[in-house]
Structure 1
Amino acid sequence: MSPSPALSAIARAPLDLHNRSLPWQIGAVILGTMFLALSSYIEVPMVPVPVTMQTFAVALIGALYGWRLGGVTISAWLIEGALGLPVLAGGAAGAQHFVGPTGGYLFAFPIAGMIVGWLAERGWSGKRVGLAFLGMLISNLVCLGLGAAWLAVLIGVEQAIMAGVVPFLLGAVLKSALGAMVLKLIAGRMTRSGA
């Protein structure tokens, strides 16, 4: 029994990759991990956690790919980093980053990407830019919240909030707005091309 047309139209990420062949999906994962790695090199060094474009890329991959393939892609990128490929913030690599100050943020990325992907599949995408912004913002806040929770174990709650959340709030809003605009542009292009 196939899902109803109404349900199929709702539960669909903007790129609709889950309906593509396995080679397409593998290609999407490879391109997605490359995009995530490139976003890691756009960095403003800060202590204990740098500002990067990773949360922008995580939310965008989740929204475009959907929750399943988005989660797989983000997890594959993290595995690459853990195995020693220079794909983390500033070209960092190695498993030690998953237990240091950035560990909570890294583990939050697949969760945040899957949340925004799930929302995008339900219409929180470029066709509804306000909801796309909210989905992106929720993704960023999940990263900050889970990252700060781990950081609090290492340096205490107050310091974790002041060093691991507050400096990143404006960036979260700006990256969410940028992500929503990118989704709107992609949705407009897909509408014009008849996809």
Structure 2
Amino acid sequence: MNQSANAIRPTYSPLRLDSRSIGVRIAAILGGTVLLTLSSYITVPMYPVPVTMQTYAILMVAALYGWRLGTLTVLAWLGEAAVGMPVLAGGAGGLAVFAGPTAGYIFSWPLITALVGWLAERGWNGKRPVLAFAGMLVASALCLTVGAAWLAAFIGPEKAITAGVLPFLPGDALKSALAAVTLTFAMRKVGS
């Protein structure tokens, strides 16, 4: 029984947040929402979806915090956006962003956070950078897929792929690689 419980328990937590006090975890969530907000302001304007560093920051929060705390952090950040705080790309906030053409990408963020965090807890992390990169690429593909499916309702499927997927493939691959490398160096720094 004890062996099976250990087999299920995640073995990865570079920041060791799961063993910290509730106060530290709340501070990590708030700090994560600040990081996510700052990443939103690094923007290259494109229509209909801007290129930002949001997905890079989401991947990092997921990989460093794990799936539970990472997803809670992204949900808190989206809650800030929902109440009108200017935390998304270009200072966007309010309920309208959750109904606009880019909402599918936004809705994918908790999903990709959970996916990357879960994979990181199971070895797809900075100890295995190639697996970390692969997991982040899969998450990026999921983000683009959900985002384009939503966007298609506004501009049609062909235009959604042309405008909402294809231009972002190189950038998402680069952000995934950068996140995997950053994670590898971060894990060396903290000694995980």
Specify the alignment match of 1:42 in structure 2.
42
2:171 maps to amino acid: G
Please give the alpha-carbon distance, in whole angstroms, between the structure 1 residues aligned to 2:20 and 2:58: 21
Secondary structure of the 1:23 match is helix
The sequence identity of aligned pairs, in percent, is: 55
What is the CA-CA distance between 1:7 and the residue it aligns to? 3.1
Cα distance per residue 1:111-134 (max 9 Å; x no partner): 001100000000111010101111
What is the CA-CA distance between 1:16 and the residue it aligns to? 2.6
2:87 maps to amino acid: V
What is the CA-CA distance between 1:6 and the residue it aligns to? 5.3
Specify the alignment match of 2:176 in structure 1.
176
Please give the alpha-carbon distance, in whole angstroms, between the structure 1 residues aligned to 2:28 and 2:36: 12
Secondary structure of the 1:13 match is coil
Answer yes or no: is the 8 Å Cα contact 1:83–1:95 preserved in 2: yes
Specify the alignment match of 1:88 in structure 2.
88
Please give the alpha-carbon distance, in whole angstroms, between the structure 2 residues aligned to 1:172 and 1:29: 24
Please give the alpha-carbon distance, in whole angstroms, between the structure 1 residues aligned to 2:9 and 2:154: 45
State the TM-score, normalizing by the size of structure 2: 0.94
What is the CA-CA distance between 1:104 and the residue it aligns to? 0.3
2:110 maps to amino acid: P
Answer yes or no: is the 8 Å Cα contact 1:74–1:110 preserved in 2: yes
State the TM-score, normalizing by the size of structure 1: 0.93
Specify the alignment match of 2:150 in structure 1.
150
Answer yes or no: is the 8 Å Cα contact 1:14–1:120 preserved in 2: no
| CA 1:3–1:81: 2 relative to 1, 3 Å | farther
Please give the alpha-carbon distance, in whole angstroms, between the structure 1 residues aligned to 2:75 and 2:149: 20
Q: Comparing 133-142 with 66-75, which one deviates more in the overlay?
A: 133-142
Please give the alpha-carbon distance, in whole angstroms, between the structure 2 residues aligned to 1:35 and 1:133: 21
2:49 maps to amino acid: V
What is the CA-CA distance between 1:12 and the residue it aligns to? 2.7
Q: What's the C-alpha RMSD, in Å, of the aligned pairs? A: 1.7
What is the CA-CA distance between 1:189 and the residue it aligns to? 1.2
Q: Comparing 32-41 with 128-137, which one deviates more in the overlay?
A: 128-137
Q: Comparing 19-28 with 1-10, which one deviates more in the overlay?
A: 1-10
Answer yes or no: is the 8 Å Cα contact 1:13–1:117 preserved in 2: no
Q: Which runs of 5+ in 2 are unaligned?
A: none
What is the CA-CA distance between 1:64 and the residue it aligns to? 0.7
Secondary structure of the 1:85 match is coil
| CA 1:18–1:3: 2 relative to 1, 3 Å | farther
Please give the alpha-carbon distance, in whole angstroms, between the structure 1 residues aligned to 2:151 and 2:11: 35
Secondary structure of the 1:123 match is coil
Specify the alignment match of 1:22 in structure 2.
22
Specify the alignment match of 1:136 in structure 2.
136
Answer yes or no: is the 8 Å Cα contact 1:65–1:117 preserved in 2: yes
Q: Which runs of 5+ in 1 are unaligned?
A: none
Answer yes or no: is the 8 Å Cα contact 1:82–1:95 preserved in 2: yes
- The answer as to 2:114 corresponding to 1:114 is yes
Please give the alpha-carbon distance, in whole angstroms, between the structure 2 residues aligned to 1:44 and 1:79: 24
| CA 1:107–1:3: 2 relative to 1, 3 Å | farther
Specify the alignment match of 1:79 in structure 2.
79
Please give the alpha-carbon distance, in whole angstroms, between the structure 2 residues aligned to 1:5 and 1:128: 24
